[in-house]
Amino acid sequence: MQKLSDRTAGFTDSVIRRMTRISNRYGAVNLSQGFPDFEPPKEILDRMAQTAHEDFHQYSITWGAQNLREALAAKQSRLMGRAIDPNGEIVVTCGSTEAMMASMMTVANPGDKVIVFSPFYENYGADTILSGAEPIYVPLYPPAFNFDPEELEDAFRRRPKALILCNPSNPCGKVFTKAELETIAALAVKYDAYVITDEVYEHIVYEPNHHTYFASLPGMWERTVSCSSLSKTYSITGWRLGYTIAPPEITERIKKVHDFLTVGAVAPLQEAVIPGLKFGQDYYDGLLAVYTRKRDLFLRGLDDFGLIHTIPQGAYYVLMDISEFGFDSDLAFCEVLAEKVGVGAVPGSSFFHEPVNHLVRFHFAKRDETLREALGRLESLRKKIPPVKRS
């Protein structure tokens, strides 16, 4: 038999999804893979039930059903401060996951360089491998996860085709300030690079932080592909609905890549989500209030146990320091944590290019009682996994 493809030979299975399987094996409270255990909005579910009996069972327009693109354009035009053309500037994809992949394939040739901030969402590694691009990692330094502008310019001097910007960031919860985004924008112009954003947590930004759409900065529309998702905003990660917003010349190409990758997103669900896109600002304020409460509840619990952790400015993840437990492998720690303590987490090393193995990631997109249950279990953490040193 001939060998399978070299390109995919280095793939491991996703550590995040592997931790979900391990959590299930031990009956752990799964705070690893980031998805809610609460219901999506009723208006969306009601419409979903209706669409089963309506005429949405065949392929929709490959780049997205007309009325979904119109609803998306209306919402995002309001937020991004420009009139987005639902016909020429939006492609509906199978989640932001496909949006990012289609964008990478659209922008990068094999061998092109792409800047990725580290820590990063693990799919970007796979995106670069599948598109043949070579990542240039630029570190984000804790505790604020700031980048060093000099290091970033050094990376731009290597003439990358694009920079990937996850804002708000998974896993570190960073929300890039306008000044930081302007620094990136100036470098993108100076070195003529595209910016591919991943803004799936655009509505989960804690006070006093503020989300700025990169594409809305002066001069950035032309060189930005904005990727986002309905997964997190409407608690429908299983529906696989995302989109790209980009100028017409770029969108034309993304449409073709997307068509050959997946043909289109699930037709009845494209229809069913539309009531959500028509929600007023009160829905997004309510969503943020819910996540702010969950963040405070979970972080207060960790604080009560004296566990050291990051304070996310956005998204719904927290990185906890496990140095005191003396594990060489954060993956081994996560396995023991799931088995002995009964809480699922993701080893931090899966997000860092640098050799970091003293962090684990929890997410708090769970019902309050689920979070309390997880905290109840974490209370016994030091009893079940005795520290070797106190940090």
Ligand X SMILES: Cc1ncc(COP(=O)(O)O)c(C=O)c1O
What number of other Cβ atoms are within 10 A of residue 373's Cβ?
A: 15
Closest C-alpha among 206, 207, 387 to residue 306: 387
Q: Does 119 contact ligand X by CB under 6 A? A: no
DSSP annotation of 322? -
Exactly one of 32, 60, 97, 313 binds ligand X (CB under 6 A); that residue is 97
Q: Does 172 contact ligand X by CB under 6 A? A: no
Where does this chain touch ligand X (CB under 6 A) — which range of 48-56, 66-74, 95-103, 134-142?
95-103
Q: Does 344 contact ligand X by CB under 6 A? A: no
What number of other Cβ atoms are within 10 A of residue 42's Cβ?
A: 9
- x-marked contacts with ligand X along 175-204 as a string, rule CB under 6 A: -----------------------x-x----
Q: Residues near 168 by Cβ (< 8 Å), separated by ≥ 6?
A: 174, 175, 199, 201, 202, 204, 205, 211, 312, 313, 314, 315
CA distance 59 to 77: 27
Q: Does 235 contact ligand X by CB under 6 A? A: no
Question: Measured from the CB of residue 302, what is the shortest distance to ligand X in angstroms?
Answer: 21
Q: Does 103 contact ligand X by CB under 6 A? A: no
- x-marked contacts with ligand X along 33-52 as a string, rule CB under 6 A: -x------------------
φ/ψ of 354, rounded to 5, equals -75, 160
Q: Does 362 contact ligand X by CB under 6 A? A: no
Q: Residues near 359 by Cβ (< 8 Å), separated by ≥ 6?
A: 319, 320, 321, 322, 330, 348, 349
Total residues interacting with ligand X, rule: CB under 6 A:
13
CA distance 134 to 115: 9
Q: Does 166 contact ligand X by CB under 6 A? A: yes
Exactly one of 36, 41, 95, 301 binds ligand X (CB under 6 A); that residue is 95
Q: Does 313 contact ligand X by CB under 6 A? A: no
> Which residues contribute to the site for ligand X (CB under 6 A)?
34, 95-97, 121, 166, 170, 198, 200, 229, 231, 237, 242
